[in-house]
Amino acid sequence: MKVIPTTLALLVFVFMTMSSVTAGGMESITLDIEGMTCRICARAVKKALSNVEGVKEVEVSFKEKEAHVEYEGGKGRVEEMIKAVEKVGFKAKESKED
Ligand SMILES: [Cu+2]
């Protein structure tokens, strides 16, 4: 019966690698936003991101040039978020540091 500890270890590993996934299928991501020059810009980005399906929570920092988004619906949402930001005139990409 050495199978069970191995399975457990594997599960723990999977959980650790998916640390950005929280209970209830919620995920979070930090996006680097390019082109924001004032707080009004940040507000436009926030509005654009909020309108993306599955997005639950958006925090945009003009100072940090970042947007923090909590969402559900999988990684495909990120592509939609980037498109939504581009639509209102800014550039977005997944932040390397999170
Ligand atoms: Cu502005």
Q: Label residue 50 by pLDDT band (50, 70, 90).
A: very high
Is 3 within a domain?
no
15 falls within a domain: no
Mean pLDDT of the chain: 86
**Tens digits of residue pLDDT in 25-35:** 899 999 999 99
Q: What is the pLDDT of residue 40?
A: 96
The encoded tokens of residue 3 equal 């199978």
Between CA 15 and CA 22 the distance in angstroms is 10
Q: Is residue 12 part of a domain?
A: no
In a domain, 13, yes or no: no
Whole-Å CA distances, 90 to 25, 63, 71, 73, 93: 28, 15, 20, 23, 10
Q: How many domains are there within the chain?
A: 1
* Cα 69 to averaged position of ligand 1 atoms, centre (Å): 20
**What is the residue range of 42's domain?**
20-94
Task: Give the Å distance between the CA of 36 and the centre of ligand 1.
Answer: 6
User: What CATH number has the domain bearing residue 68?
Assistant: 3.30.70.100
Ligand 1 center to 68 CA (angstroms): 18
Ion ligand 1: residues, CB within 5 A, are 37-38, 40-41
**Residue 57 resides in a domain:** yes
Let me know if residue 52 belongs to a domain. Answer: yes
Contact 48, 84 (CB under 8 A): yes
- Residue 14 inside a domain? The answer is no
- 11 in a structural domain: no
